[in-house]
Amino acid sequence: MSTELVHPLSKYLRAAMMPHIWCSGCGNGIILNCFVQAIDELQMDLNKLVVVSGIGCIGRVAGYANTNSFHTTHGRPIAFATGVKLANPELEVVIISGDGDLFAIGGNHFIHAARRNLGVKVICANNFNYGMTGGQQGPTTPLEAFTTTTPYGNIEHPFNLVHLASASGATYVARWTTLHVRRLTQSIKKLLQKEGFSFIEVVSPCPEIYGRQNKMRTGLEMMEWFRRASVVEHFSDPAKAEITREKIVVGEFVDTKKPSYEKLLHEKIAQVGKEAGKWGEQCAS
Amino acid sequence: MPVRLWRTPLDIEKVKLPKAEIHITKDQCNGCGYCIQYCPKKVLEESEEINARGVHPPRVVDEGKCIVCGFCTAVCPDFAIFVVEKQCEGGCYV
Amino acid sequence: MNIAGSVDCEGVAKFAAGLPHVVLAKDNRYTCSDQGQELIKSDVKEHKLNRVVVASCSPRLHEPTFRKACEEAGLNKYLFEMANIREQCSWVHLHDREAATEKAKDLVKMAAAKAALLQPAEEIEAPIIRKALVIGGGVAGIQAALDLADTGYKVYLVEKEPSIGGTMARIDKTFPTMDCSICILAPKMSDVGHHPNIELLANSDVVDVKGYVGNFHVKVLKKPRYVTKDCSACGECIEVCPVIAPNEFDAGLAIRHAIYTPFAQAVPSAYIIDMGICLNKDGVIVCDKCMKACDRQAINFEMKPETVEFDAGTIIVAIGADIFDPSAAPNYGYGKYTNVITSLEFERLINAGGPSGGHLIRPSDMQIPQRVAFIQCVGSRSDKIERLYCSNVCCMNTIKDSLLIKEHWPETEIYVFYVDIRAYGKGFEDLYKRARKEGVKFIRGLPAEVIEDRKTHNLWLIGENTLQKKLYEMNVDMVILSVGLEPRKDSEIIQRLLTLSRTQDGFFMEAHPKLKPVDAATGGIFFAGCAESPKDIKDSVTQASAAAARSGILMARGKVTVEAITPIAYPENCNACGLCTKVCPYNAITLNKELKRIEVIEAACGGCGTCAAECPFGALTQNHFTDEQIVAQIDAVTEQGAEKKVVAFCCNWCAYAGADFAGVSRMQYPPSVRIIRTMCSGRVAPKFVERAFARGAAAVLVAGCHPGDCHYINANYQTQKRVERLWKRMEQQGLNKERLQLLWASAAEGERFASKIREMQAMVEKVTLEDIENAKKVFEKALGGG
Amino acid sequence: MTKKGTVLEGVHFMNGDVACAEGAIAAGCRFFAGYPITPATEIAEHLSQRMPEIGGIYIQMEDEIASMAAVIGASYAGLKAMTATSGPGFSLMQENIGLAVMTEAPCVVVDVMRGGPSTGQPTLPGQQDVMQAKWGSHGDYEIIALAPSSVQETFDLTVEAFNLSETYRVPTILLADEVVAHMWEKVVIPPAEKIKIVNRKKPNAPPQEYMPFMPDDDLVPPMACFGEGFSFHATGLTHDEHGYPQTSSSEVQQRLVSRLCDKIRKNAEKIVRVQGVMLDDADVVVVAYGIVARAALSAVRKARERGIKVGLLRPITLWPFPERHVAKIAEKAKAIVVPEMNCGQLVREVERAAKETPVVFLSKLGEDPHTPTEILEAIRRNSQ
C-alpha cells in the first residue's frame, strides 16, 4: 500500500487548494470526483472549459477544478455564464452550484436561461438546506424537515427540481444521488456533449448540517437512505418525481434536441452583419 | 439438478481475475467511511490510527480479495484512495 | 373374452329387451369393430331406431366411435348412450359372475332410462386461433416448434433458461449412433432463432393461461437479460467481469462470469447478466467494467421484467425432466468424494468443448483413471428414494459412455454395476454387444455403498454379485453414477395453469395411454418429450412431431366444435338472482339486468354444468346431462335393492377415468356401486343426492378431481360446498353422514377409487333398514318432480 | 442612418442615448446586456439593431442584476462589455459592480439619471446617483465616473469610459442625465483610425507562471481571458495573487483592498479631466456638471457682459473627484456656486476641497434643469 503513485485524477485538481473545505461525508467531493472523471473520460480540452459557481459550500468547486473557473456572487453564476458563453461560444461553460444559489436567489436566472435554451450546463448539488450558513430552510427542504429556521418543522412545499427544469425547457434533465457515481459520471458526460441548456440534480448528503437535524447523523446514514429510496426510472414523468423519504426517482427525465440560443444568435449575426465570428478580437489585439 | 460448487471447478487455474494495488493517501481521508461500506468485497476496514484531519483512515484487510472495480476510488469525496491493477505475466490468476 | 368372461352377456341382452322403450336388444362381440358398427347402422335403418345404447367398454374410449356410426345411420349422435360394463364391471368383478351380471343389467337399465330422455343436439363451432404455444425449448420443444412453424403456423416458443437446447445440448454423443449431440442440435437451434414463424421467448416463464381449446390467452413474463439485442457476443465483457460462479452448463465442473453466455452455440446468442452474483445491486452500479468494455453499449442495468401477452389456439407442453440429484442417495458419497461423478458430469468431461477439453480426468488429481465403475439405476427403480419407475435412458447412456472411454483409452478397465440391462430399442442390442466385446465388464448387483480411500481418493465398491451370489469389494479410480430422470420441480405450476393431471411418478398424464398418447385430457393441449415420461432423444423428437401434428390438425380445421353439453336456460323460471353467474368458472353466463334474465355465451362455456347444479329455480339445466336424465338414472338404480347399493356420481376426467383405470388394472372391488357419469362433480345438484336417499339408496358417493386439478378450473369447489351443506343437514336430521362420501381421485388413482368402494361396502353392510327409512323421510320432498 | 457592418463616422444629428451607443461601438464594445428602463431604453434599442451589424452581441436579460453579471462574464471571455440603465436598475447592479471591482473586470455601466428616490420621476432629469456611483456597492473601493453635458460629449466620454476601464481594470460609470440622453444635437464622429482606443494589458508570462492578480508597477495586473490558454481562477472572495481565496488572512485583505483603491487614487492625475472657463481672474466660480453646466456656462457669459468676474469649473470626471482643481480656484475665489439637480451631493466634495471659501448650493428638483437666469441671479448675489 505505497502512496508514491499519484491519484489518476489529481491532474484535474488545484493541488494548492487541497484538501477541500468540505465536511466528512459531504457529497460535494463525490460530485467533483465524478465531474473530473467525466472530463477525463471525454479527454476534454481544459482550456476550452469554464467552471462557474455561486455561493455556498459547493461554490468552492470552481477553485478546486484545475481549469478556467469563476466564483461569482450569490445566485448569479448562470447570469455570469450567459456573458461568457455568448462572448465565446467555443467555451464549454459548466455551472456547478447549490440548490439555494440556483433556485432561491438565482431561480430567475435558471428558468430564463432554460427558456432561452442557452447552451450552458448546470449541475446542482441538492443538499436540502443552506449548509454553509448553518443549515437554514431552503427551496428544496422537504415538508416537515427540521432546519435552524424551521425548528417546528418545515411548512413550505419544496421545488421538484427536475420538474422545474423540464417545464422551463431544458433539453437534458437527469437526477442522481451521490451513491450513483457511475451513472452520474456517464450522465455528466452526456450533459457535456449536449448542445442546449442541460441540467443534472445530484441529491447529495449533508450529514453535519442537515442530517444532524433530521435523524441522519452520518453521511453513511444519508447514503443508506439514498440506497433504500432511490428507484432508477428513465424518462418517467418529472411531475411525479417529488423526493420523499420513501422514494427518490432517479434517472434521465428529458433528453431532447433544439438549437441553442447562441447558435440562433450567431446565425442571426452572420446573416445580419459581416464581421460575425471574429470572437475575442479585442483580446487578441 | 441445481448446481452446487462443492467441487473446485477444473478450470479454476485458467481463470484470470484482476489483482489490485490499493493506494490510500491517509492524510487526505476525511473518514466518511463510504469506501469501507460500499466495497463489494469488503476489502477495507477502519484503522485505529488518527490522521492529519483527525479521523481514522481505512486500512486494507485483504488486498487479494479486491477485484479492482474501483468503486472506492469513484465514491471517495476526498480523492484519498485509488486502486491500480497489478501487472502480472500474462494476467493474474485466481 | 373381455366382458363375457365374468358377465352373462346373453342374460343381460335378454334383460335389456324387456326394458321400457326397448324394441331391440342384441348380444354381440367386438361391437367397436367395423362389422359391429355396420350392424348398428343397419339395425337403425331397418328398425327405424331413434335411440341407441351400447353396453361395452368405457365411453371415454369408444363413445366417439359409436356416435359416428349413429350419425352415418342418420341418427343424431346425441341420441346415443353407453353402458360401461367392462372397465367398471367385468374387469373389476372378475370372480363374481352373478353379481357382475346383476350390475351389468343395472348399468344397461340406467343407460336405457337416460337414452329414453336423450334429445338431439347440434354442436356449435368456435373459431380456433391459428397460433401455437410451445412451453420448453429442449429438443422436443424445438422439434415441435419447427414442425408447426414449417407447416405455416405462428409459434411462440417459451424457454425459462437463457438459451434453448435443453439437456441434449449438454450431452457429448448420442446413442446408438454416436452422433455428436450438439452438432446435430445446433442447426435446429439456429433454425428456431431465424424462423419467421417462431417468436422465441427465452429466459421467460409462462405465468398465466386462460380460455379453452382454440382460444387460449397466454401471459409470459420475460425476465430481464440486462444485455440488449445489440450484443454481438464478442466476449469482451467476460474478459473484464471480476465475478465468477459455477457454470450450470458444465454441471459446475467449470466456472462462468456474472455476465456470460450459457454455451457457445446458445440461441439467442445475446449474453446475460446473473444478477444473483453481479455486484450491481439496488440500482447502484458498483462495477462498470462490462459497460466500459462493450463497444455497442449493449449493457443496460435498467432492464425490467416485461409481460408479453398473446392468444394461442393450441399448447404443447415440452418442459422436459430434471436430472436426479444423487446426494439424495448418500451411500454413494456424491458430494463427498470428488471422484464420484454423475453421468451428466461425465458428458461434460468427455466433451471436447468441456472443461477438461475432452479428457476424462479425476477431479481429485486431474489424472486419467485406469479403472472406472458405472453404477446404474441411481434415482430409478428404487422404493428407498421413491423413484419406482425406470428412467429409460440410463442403460444405453452408460453403454455409450463406456464405449466412448474405450475409444479414447482402450486400456481402461470398465465395470458396469446394474440391475437389468434394458437394450430394447433399434440398434441398442448391437451397441450392448459391442461394449461387451470391447471388454466392458457388466456385474449384476448394485454396490451397497461406495467408500473413499482418504489418501489416493480411489473408491471402494462393496456389494453382492447376484448372479454369482458372491460379495465383491472392488477398488476403482472413478465412479460414474448413472442418474435417472425425474419430473421438473416446477411441474405443478404448469399443471395448475393448464389444469392437467400427473401420474404417481409425477410426469404428465396423457388422455389415453394407447390411443391418445400425446394428448392431454384438456382439449387443445399436447405433450412432447420427457414432460410426459423419461425418453431418449429419438422418442422425444418422435413425440414432438406427433404433438405438432395433433395440434396442427386442430388448427388446420380452423374451428373447434363445442360439445353440445352447454346449459339450457328456462327464462320463465329465472328470477335473475345471478347465482349461476357467480359459480361459472368461465364467466360464460352474464346477468342482463334490464331484461331480468341470464345470457349464456356457449363458445366460452366449458360444459361443467355447475350452473345447472346451482340454480335453485330449475331455470338452468345441462344439455345431455339434464336433471331428468340424471334423475332417470338414479331411479333406475334404486328401483330394486336400493338398500344394498351405492349410487356414485363421478366426474368424467378424474374419478370416472380413475374407475376405468382400476378396471384396466383389474383392481377388484365390491359390485354394489353404480356409477353415474357427469362431466364435472360440480354438476351434481344436492337434489340428486337427496333423491337417491329418498329412494332408499344405502350410500351415495360424489367423486371428482383433486382440488386445484379441476378440469373446469375450480368448479369442484362448488361440489365441496354442496356436499358439506348436505352433511350438515344429515347431522341435523340425525342421519349418519358417513352414508354420503366425497372422494377426490385422479385419473391415475384407480386404487384410491377401488379402496374407497371397499371401505364404503363395509359401511353399507352396517346400514339398517331403519336408517334407510329415516333417510327416505328426511329427503322425501326430493321425490317431487324428476 | 448607419452604414451596415461598420463603425459610424462623419456628421450626424442624434440624441444622447444613440450617441452613447455609437460611442461604445466606436470604442470596440462588442457585448451589451441590459434591461428596458426609461430614460436609458433607447441605448438598448439602438444596440439591438447595431450590434448584429458589426458582429457584436446584444442580449436583453431577465433583470439588471443578470445584465451586470453577464457583462462581467463577457469581459472575462474577452469582449469589451457594457450595460445601460437608470436609478432603479443601477441600484440592482450595485452588488455585481462590487464583483467587477473585486475581480477587476473591465466594463462600462451607463446610468442615465432620472428623478428618485425609488421609481420617482422616470421621464424627468436628475443628478441624484452621484454618490451611489461612488459608494453604491458595499466595502471599500475606488471607481471612475464620467458626466457628459452634451450629445457630442456623450459619444466622446463613452469611448473614454471604455479606455479608462480597460486601462485600470475597473468598472467605469457614465453618469448621464435624462436631458442629455434625450436631447438631439449635432455629433461629429472622426474616422475610426482617428479615435484613440485602449485595450487591456495581456500577460506576457507563460501560462504556468501566470498569476492573474499580480500587478505591474501601475498596480494593474495584466488580464488573461478564458480560452486563451491561461487556466486561472477568479473569485469575489478576498484572494491572493493566484486568485485563490484567502478569507481569513488580514494581510491578503490589506494588500488586495488597498491596491484596488490605490490603482485609482495613485493614477488620479492621469484620469481626472475638467473644463475651466474664464477662471484666471474669477471672484466667483460656478462648479457644475452634466446638463446643468450648459446653463451655468451661458449664465457665466451673461455675468461677464455685466462685468462680473466669474468663471466655470466643469468636472468631467466626477470620480475620482478633481480635488486639486477645486482647491486651486478656491485660493482666489470669494465664493463658489454649485447648482445640482439633487439635494446636495457633489457640493459636499466641493466644500471639502474649497476649505474656507464659502460654497453656495443651488438645488433644483422635479422639473427641467436650472435656467441660466437662476444661476446668473446666484452669481450676482454672491459677487458683492
Model ipTM value: 0.81
Any domain includes D34: yes
Instruction: Please tell us whether the domain made up of A17-269 is placed in CATH 3.40.50.970.
Output: yes
Identify the DSSP state of D370: P
Residue D262 has a CB neighbour count (10 Å cut-off) of 13
Which pTM does this prediction carry?
0.81
pLDDT band at residue A274 under the 50/70/90 scheme: low
Q: What pLDDT score does B94 carry?
A: 53
Among residues C605, C707, C610, C609, which one has the least CA distance to residue C654?
C707
Identify the DSSP state of C162: S
Q: What pLDDT score does A132 carry?
A: 95
Contact (CB, 8 A) for B56 and B48 = yes
Q: What is the mean pLDDT of chain A?
A: 93
Q: What pLDDT score does C785 carry?
A: 54
pLDDT in tens, C466-496: 999 999 999 999 999 999 999 999 899 999 8
Average pLDDT of span D294-311: 97
Least confident of C75-89, C558-572, D245-259: C558-572
Q: Based on the domain organization, do D91 and D190 belong to the same domain? A: yes
Nearest chain D residue (CA) to A277 = D55
Contact (CB, 8 A) for A169 and A94 = no
How many Å lie between the alpha carbon of A130 and the closest alpha carbon of chain C? 27
As a whole number of angstroms, the longest Cα–Cα distance in chain D is 69
| C-alpha D255, offset from chain centre | 26
Give the span between the Cα atoms of C149 and C196, in whole angstroms.
Answer: 8
Cα separation values, D36 from C45, D114, D127, Å: 109, 14, 20
Kindly report the CATH number assigned to the domain that includes residue D159. 3.40.50.970
Q: Based on the domain organization, do C29 and C172 belong to the same domain? A: no
Q: Does residue A9 sit at the B interface (CB-CB below 8 Å)?
A: yes
Q: Based on the domain organization, do D15 and D135 belong to the same domain? A: yes
Share of residues in chain C with pLDDT > 90 (%): 81
All three cell numbers of C651? 366426474
Asked whether residue A249 carries a pLDDT value surpassing 90, the answer given is yes
Touching chains, D (3+ CB pairs < 8 A): A
Q: Based on the domain organization, do C116 and C136 belong to the same domain? A: no
Asked whether residue C183 carries a pLDDT value surpassing 80, the answer given is yes
Alpha-helical runs (H) found in C118-233: 139-151, 181-194
Q: What pLDDT score does C566 carry?
A: 87
* Beta strands in chain D, from DSSP E residues, in sequence order: 10-15, 29-34, 57-60, 80-85, 107-115, 121-125, 144-146, 171-177, 184-189, 233-235, 274-277, 284-287, 310-315, 317-319, 335-340, 359-363
How many Å lie between the alpha carbon of C486 and the closest alpha carbon of chain B? 10
Burial of C608 (0-12, 13-18, 19+ CB in 10 A): buried
Q: Strand D274-277 and strand D317-319: pairing? A: unpaired
Q: Does residue A265 sit at the D interface (CB-CB below 8 Å)?
A: yes
pLDDT in tens, D221-253: 999 999 999 999 999 999 999 999 999 999 999
Q: What pLDDT score does A1 carry?
A: 44
Any domain includes D35: yes
Q: Based on the domain organization, do C116 and C156 belong to the same domain? A: no
CB contact set of D239 (below 8 Å; sequence gap of 6+): D213, D245, D246, D252, D256
Contact (CB, 8 A) for C63 and C95 = no
Give the span between the Cα atoms of C446 and C69, in whole angstroms.
Answer: 55
Q: Strand C510-512 and strand C516-520: pairing? A: antiparallel
Q: Based on the domain organization, do D296 and D180 belong to the same domain? A: no
pLDDT in tens, C113-155: 999 999 999 888 889 999 999 999 999 999 999 999 999 999 9
Q: Which one of B24, B33, B79 has the shortest CB-CB distance to A3?
A: B24
Q: Based on the domain organization, do C218 and C242 belong to the same domain? A: no
Give the span between the Cα atoms of C149 and B18, in whole angstroms.
Answer: 47
DSSP string, C117-184: H----PPEEEE--SEEEEE--SHHHHHHHHHHHHHT-EEEEE-SSSSS-TGGGG-SEETTTTEEHHHH
Give the span between the Cα atoms of B26 and C52, in whole angstroms.
Answer: 99
Residue C516 has a CB neighbour count (10 Å cut-off) of 15
All three cell numbers of C140? 422436443
CB contact set of B31 (below 8 Å; sequence gap of 6+): A24, B53, B55, B56, B57
Any domain includes D270: no
Q: What pLDDT score does D1 carry?
A: 40
**In chain C, what residues touch B68 (CB-CB under 8 Å)?**
242
Q: What pLDDT score does B3 carry?
A: 58
Share of residues in chain A with pLDDT > 70 (%): 94
Q: Final residue of a domain: which of D194, D210, D228?
A: D194
Average pLDDT of span A144-154: 97
Alpha-helical runs (H) found in C589-649: 610-614, 627-638
**In chain C, what residues touch B70 (CB-CB under 8 Å)?**
287
All three cell numbers of C20? 321400457
Average pLDDT of span D264-273: 97
How many Å lie between the alpha carbon of B53 and the closest alpha carbon of chain A? 10
Determine whether the interchain pair A185/B74 forms a contact, defined as Cβ–Cβ distance below 8 Å: yes
Q: Does residue D109 sit at the A interface (CB-CB below 8 Å)?
A: no
Q: Does residue A115 sit at the D interface (CB-CB below 8 Å)?
A: no
Kindly report the CATH number assigned to the domain that includes residue B57. 3.30.70.20
Q: Does residue B87 sit at the C interface (CB-CB below 8 Å)?
A: no
Q: Final residue of a domain: which of C597, C619, C641?
A: C619
Q: Based on the domain organization, do C510 and C476 belong to the same domain? A: no
Least confident of A124-133, C601-610, C714-723: C601-610
Size of interface A-D (CB pairs under 8 A): 180
Element (H, E) at C756: helix C750-766
Q: What pLDDT score does A2 carry?
A: 44
How many Å lie between the alpha carbon of C305 and the closest alpha carbon of chain A? 13
**Interface subset of A 152-211, CB within 8 angstroms of B:** 178-179, 181-182, 185
Nearest chain C residue (CA) to B18 = C242
Determine whether the interchain pair A251/C288 forms a contact, defined as Cβ–Cβ distance below 8 Å: no
How many Å lie between the alpha carbon of C519 and the closest alpha carbon of chain B? 28
Among residues C522, C620, C511, which one has the least CA distance to residue C211?
C522
Q: Is the dihedral of CA A237, A240, A242, A243 positive or negative?
A: negative
Q: Rg of chain B over CA atoms, in angstroms?
A: 16
> Which residue type occupies A221?
E
Asked whether residue D290 carries a pLDDT value surpassing 60, the answer given is yes
Q: Based on the domain organization, do D38 and D154 belong to the same domain? A: yes
With the CA atoms of C34, C35, C36 and C37 taken in that order, what torsion angle do they form, in degrees rounded to the nearest 10? 50
Kindly report the CATH number assigned to the domain that includes residue C530. 3.50.50.60
- The answer, yes or no, to whether D and B have at least 3 beta-carbon pairs within 8 Å is no
- Report the domain count for chain D: 2
- Report the domain count for chain B: 1
Share of residues in chain C with pLDDT > 70 (%): 99
Determine whether the interchain pair B71/A223 forms a contact, defined as Cβ–Cβ distance below 8 Å: no
pLDDT in tens, C388-437: 999 999 999 999 999 999 999 999 999 999 999 999 999 999 999 999 99
Q: What pLDDT score does B16 carry?
A: 78
pLDDT band at residue A284 under the 50/70/90 scheme: very low
All three cell numbers of C470? 458372491
Q: What is the mean pLDDT of chain B?
A: 88
Contact (CB, 8 A) for C465 and C450 = no
pLDDT band at residue B92 under the 50/70/90 scheme: low
All three cell numbers of D332? 482666489
Nearest chain C residue (CA) to A232 = C283
Q: What pLDDT score does C443 carry?
A: 96
Element (H, E) at C441: strand C441-444
Element (H, E) at B83: strand B81-85
Q: Final residue of a domain: which of D148, D178, D194?
A: D194
Q: What is the mean pLDDT of chain C?
A: 93
Any domain includes B59: yes
pLDDT in tens, C246-287: 888 998 899 999 999 999 999 999 899 999 999 998 889 999
Q: What pLDDT score does D5 carry?
A: 55
All three cell numbers of C130? 391459428
Q: What is the domain extent for residue D282?
A: 275-383
Cis peptide before C268 (omega within 30 of 0): yes
Plot region of C449 (φ>0 → left; ψ -120 to 50 → alpha; else → beta):
beta
Domain ranges of chain A: 17-269
All three cell numbers of C445? 448387483
Q: Based on the domain organization, do D52 and D189 belong to the same domain? A: yes
Q: Which one of A1, A8, A19 has the shortest CB-CB distance to B24?
A: A1
Give the span between the Cα atoms of D245 and D223, in whole angstroms.
Answer: 18
Average pLDDT of span D126-141: 97
pLDDT in tens, C665-697: 999 999 999 999 999 999 999 999 999 999 999
Among residues D375, D347, D372, which one has the least CA distance to residue D128?
D347
Q: Which one of C283, C286, C301 has the shortest CB-CB distance to A230?
A: C283
pLDDT in tens, C301-351: 989 999 999 999 999 999 999 999 999 888 999 999 999 999 999 999 999
**In chain A, what residues touch C283 (CB-CB under 8 Å)?**
180, 230-232, 250
Q: Rg of chain C over CA atoms, in angstroms?
A: 31
Helix axes D323-332, D346-354, angle to 10 degrees: 60
Q: Based on the domain organization, do D286 and D185 belong to the same domain? A: no
All three cell numbers of D226? 478564458
Give the span between the Cα atoms of C110 and C55, in whole angstroms.
Answer: 11
pLDDT band at residue B8 under the 50/70/90 scheme: confident
Contact (CB, 8 A) for D60 and D87 = no
Average pLDDT of span A253-258: 97
**In chain C, what residues touch A230 (CB-CB under 8 Å)?**
282-283
Q: What pLDDT score does C21 carry?
A: 92
Contact (CB, 8 A) for C83 and C111 = yes
How many Å lie between the alpha carbon of C142 and the closest alpha carbon of chain B? 21
Determine whether the interchain pair B79/A10 forms a contact, defined as Cβ–Cβ distance below 8 Å: yes
pLDDT in tens, D50-83: 999 999 999 999 999 999 999 999 999 999 999 9
Determine whether the interchain pair A265/D69 forms a contact, defined as Cβ–Cβ distance below 8 Å: no
Any domain includes B57: yes
CB contact set of C710 (below 8 Å; sequence gap of 6+): C499, C585, C680, C682, C704, C716, C717
Average pLDDT of span A41-67: 96
Q: Does residue A83 sit at the D interface (CB-CB below 8 Å)?
A: yes
Interface test with C, best of A175, A180, A183 (most C CBs within 10 A): A183
Nearest chain A residue (CA) to B78 = A29
Any domain includes D232: no
pLDDT band at residue A254 under the 50/70/90 scheme: very high
Q: Which one of C322, C325, C363 has the shortest CB-CB distance to B7?
A: C363
Q: Phi, psi (5° rounding) for residue C206? A: -75, 120
Q: Based on the domain organization, do D96 and D189 belong to the same domain? A: yes
Touching chains, A (3+ CB pairs < 8 A): B, C, D
Q: Final residue of a domain: which of D143, D162, D194?
A: D194
Give the span between the Cα atoms of C56 and C663, in whole angstroms.
Answer: 13
Asked whether residue A278 carries a pLDDT value surpassing 80, the answer given is no
Q: Does residue C297 sit at the A interface (CB-CB below 8 Å)?
A: no
Q: Does residue A57 sit at the D interface (CB-CB below 8 Å)?
A: no
Nearest chain B residue (CA) to C359 = B10
pLDDT in tens, C354-363: 999 899 999 9
Asked whether residue A279 carries a pLDDT value surpassing 60, the answer given is no
- Report the domain count for chain C: 6
Give the span between the Cα atoms of D139 and B79, in whole angstroms.
Answer: 37
Determine whether the interchain pair B53/A218 forms a contact, defined as Cβ–Cβ distance below 8 Å: no
Q: What is the domain extent for residue C206?
A: 124-223+307-320+488-559
Any domain includes B16: no
Any domain includes B21: no
The cell 451428466 sits on which residue? Answer: C344
CB contact set of C29 (below 8 Å; sequence gap of 6+): C4, C36
Q: What is the mean pLDDT of chain D?
A: 96
Q: Which one of C245, C254, C286 has the shortest CB-CB distance to B10?
A: C254
Give the span between the Cα atoms of C196 and C199, in whole angstroms.
Answer: 8
Give the span between the Cα atoms of C88 and C100, in whole angstroms.
Answer: 10
Touching chains, C (3+ CB pairs < 8 A): A, B
Touching chains, B (3+ CB pairs < 8 A): A, C
Q: Does residue B93 sit at the C interface (CB-CB below 8 Å)?
A: no
pLDDT band at residue B1 under the 50/70/90 scheme: very low
Q: What pLDDT score does C765 carry?
A: 94
Cα angle, residue A161 at apex, residues A155 and A162 outer, rounded to 5°: 140
Q: What pLDDT score does C89 carry?
A: 95
Q: Phi, psi (5° rounding) for residue C611? A: -65, -45
Determine whether the interchain pair A82/D33 forms a contact, defined as Cβ–Cβ distance below 8 Å: yes
Among residues C662, C657, C388, which one has the least CA distance to residue C506?
C388
**In chain B, what residues touch C387 (CB-CB under 8 Å)?**
none
Nearest chain B residue (CA) to C327 = B1
Q: Based on the domain organization, do C439 and C500 belong to the same domain? A: no
Q: What is the domain extent for residue B38?
A: 29-94
Any domain includes D55: yes
pLDDT band at residue D3 under the 50/70/90 scheme: very low
The cell 461568457 sits on which residue? Answer: A84
Size of interface A-B (CB pairs under 8 A): 83
Residue C525: beta bridge partners?
C315
All three cell numbers of D322? 478633481
